[in-house]
Amino acid sequence: MRTKKKDKNDRYKPFENLLRTRLAELTAHLDQLRKEIVIDDEVDDEATQAFRNNNREFLMTTMEREVRNVAEIEQALQRIAKNAYGICVTCETAIPDKRLNAIPWTRLCVDCAGGGINSINRRLTPRLGSPLLDSR
Ligand SMILES: [Zn+2]
């Protein structure tokens, strides 16, 4: 049986599932957004056009964010494949499961993410904002 060979990968299976679910959701949503952006070109009246321009901008911002998230997720899946998942890329300590559950695509432990040095990462993890800020 396959289960005899206990792989390190098994430990990250739940996170892999989380990542794949999220990836599927994002991909579907991005498809939908692309369609919405393409649809609206036959309008003449200004108010509608203005509204659509705003809406388009919003859609673009959302898409950019989601495309970035897709890239993060794909990188995380690659790290799982290479047995490098769950290790902070900065300090190389293990990232706690609790954090991986909240942000399965994270590359940084809480200390490194909240240290204030990694402003790039702070931008990438807004949804983790409160626990990080609380520990200050
Ligand atoms: Zn770290």
Whether 67 contacts 27, CB under 8 Å: no
How far, in Å, is the centroid of ligand 1 from the Cα of 30? 31
Q: How far apart are CA 2 and CA 75, in angstroms?
A: 26
pLDDT tens-digit map of 8-66? 558 899 999 999 999 999 999 999 999 888 766 677 788 888 888 888 899 999 999 99
pLDDT tens-digit map of 98-120? 999 999 999 999 999 985 444 45
Confidence of residue 131 (pLDDT cuts 50, 70, 90): very low
How far, in Å, is the centroid of ligand 1 from the Cα of 127? 18
Both tokens assigned to 109: 């432990």
> What's the pTM value of the predicted model, to 2 decimals?
0.70
Bridge partners for 87 per DSSP: 94
Other C-beta atoms lying within 10 Å of the C-beta of residue 38: 8
pLDDT at 132: 44
Task: Name 56's Cβ contacts closer than 8 Å, sequence gap at least 6.
Answer: 37, 40
pLDDT tens-digit map of 59-75? 999 999 999 999 999 99
